[in-house]
Structure 1
Amino acid sequence: MRILQFTVDCPFPPVSGAEIRNAANARALASMGEVLTVSLTGAPAPSPPPNIRHRIIEAARGRGLWGRRSPHPTVHMMPDDELAEADAIWREFSPDLVVVEEIPLSQLLTLAPKHRARTVLDQHNIDSRTVADRIAGLTLWQQIRDWRQNRRKRAQARDADRRAAAMADQVWVCSQTDGALLSALGPVGDVRLIANPIPDETVLSLPIGAERYRELSLCFIGHLGYFPNIDAVKQIGRGMVPRLTASGRPWSITVAGRNPRDVVRGLCTKHGLQLIENPPHLPDLLGRAGYAPIPLRFGGGTRIKVLEAMAAGLVVCATEKAVEGLGLQAGRHFLSSNDAGELASKIVDLAKRPQAAAEMAESGRTFVRDNHSSAAIEKAIRQAIAEMPLHRTG
């Protein structure tokens, strides 16, 4: 089997959430045949895994972030030269299966009928939900002032989700929740759950013992240019820090991630958070902490940061939004509250019972190892592809 995978960013080396998922999918697909990944940004991967090659769409080089030059809120409206180059690569490689990353690249699905390849749309998030969340996070004045523009953006995003899902032979989603959200937008065909991966399975060997959880050592990791994560850092600083300080116990919070915005730097300075920009080796950071605060209020998909923290043996302390779609049990796998201050209070209380914290960490690790390992993802992808129709029906 020959498999063509289109991605926005080069998935190797995998750094951010999207790249981590794309890389895991590519590795699983490579167990079934030859894989060619084609991305719009980055440089050619110096050493991709076995059975995987990588190319860049040369026409996209030097054009900057597509989101800043596209008139659509979620779709990258590809210029003619980029679309023509993608078409030529498709024709030259002659794949049996094409996997397209997310709504931004959904325009590529229009090429499928003339090439007669089966197609998959890999939905990392339900983008129309993300657009709606972003608008909901604006101030009331901003919502009123830009009411017409925001209404148009929401409608365009919903329409893009519906159209792309209808064009693909199969849609992959990260959670049952996202599958339900997509189905609610209109008729959709074959939707399959392909779980997000543990980014680095070596963290499964980090020790879990009571001593690790006695101290109030917290670590938040995420892409720090992504608005839901920026908001989470605000919640940590404004809601969690006062409660931790009021406990009278020493505490530390590390915020680490890629491409932090200036607002993140300002928040960390103001609230006494340690900022580590573009960390080179996450297992070291994760191994030094006992708790992972994840007070997310916006976003979609399933949070790779949750899986990563649990695999590393941290006690995840999260809102319902942060663990949405994962199937975790509050009080068994993680600490739960939709209020950042209350999350901090629960961490303080649990740190007084370090053995109970170690047991919760072990339960979380077992869950993600059983459901989000590379073996589990490869099994799900193999089954999904095996049950696809042999030829396009449209």
Structure 2
Amino acid sequence: MGQPEVVLGVGGGIAAYKAAELLRRFTESGHAVRVVPTASALRFVGAPTWAALSGRPVHTEVWDDVDEVPHVRLGRAADLVVIAPATADLLARAATGRADDLLTNVLLTTRAPVVFAPAMHTEMWEHPATRENVATLRRRGAVVIEPAVGRLTGADTGKGRLPDPDAIFEAARRVLARGTAGPDLAGRRVVISAGGTREPLDPVRYLGNHSSGKQGYALARTAQARGAEVTLVAANTALPAPAGVTVEPVGSAEELRTAMRRAAAEADVVVMAAAVADFRPARQVAQKIKKRDGVEPEPIALVRNPDVLAELAAERRPGQLVVGFAAETENVLAGGRAKLARKGCDLLVVNQVGGGLAFGTDENEAVILAADGTETPVPFGPKEALADALWDAVSQRWSPA
């Protein structure tokens, strides 16, 4: 089996220089890349740069090597097409089926998955015309990554910044891995919690847990690659934000509860993957609790935190799916089944933790329990594999029988 063929289309924006790093990521990971820059893109980065980094000739015009019919051949040969940066003009031309340069011809002839990574000023991204063009492309099956928030051209700051090239590469890699399966979550709004809450005891100490957030982030990355609009409520994580995912940081269980209930109001599926503390100190001390010689510390009284998963399940809108996670140390399946019934959610992912399992690792093993009684074992493997298995279960519940 040969190298995967990737067409990297480069739009005419200042962020074109970042596409050089994206190109390097593809080539260093074993992908064969053809770079197709627009005429405007060549004003920012010249063809010799693209040829040197890709190790292949750069086509810029439909009139180059006419005998090879490049406007058809490139699209047909591609296993993946990535457009970065995708300017407002390029999104508009793609959405309306224009074929006025080599890149838009490639977009019309390819049957491979297409990923757009937009970059533009905030006002352009928020304009109704751009939003309609993005919706059209997503409806047709393309993956349009939400732009990042940050410094734009000049002194401007806002949403419209090209996501980090590493993050674009990871998102594109996941789309390529799915092949022709397509973005089955396109048009869906997904809300995911990740990480572990911390309940303050004093200004220095807290009650917490060992959750790293890796499983929740894997869920966010895979959902985005499958076309969903993803909001990630992240409790005390130190992981890079996935490309195209809106991340809302929180600290305590109450903060997570507020963020999840607000985001769930517009969501099609809500996934509670975060490890939420069951208890919090009854009293938060204003100053650091100090050790005093010969004096034993006062016992710490605890009170229950709200049951966020049960609340979300009870408040869900018609058609909305609610998914929970259960971390068990013993009697894993029995505990999971009891929790599924008690919480009232549609799906529950139950896994064993402790002894180096699940928390902080890159692998997981679980069983997906459904309210209808079905059980889907997911063997030990990368957390992304478990995430895809869960999205398969979700997608099946939206598909016609």
Higher helix share: 1
Which structure is larger by alpha-carbon Rg, 1 or 2? 2
TM-score (norm 1): 0.32
> Which of structures 1 and 2 has the larger relative contact order (alpha carbons within 8 angstroms, sep 6+)?
1
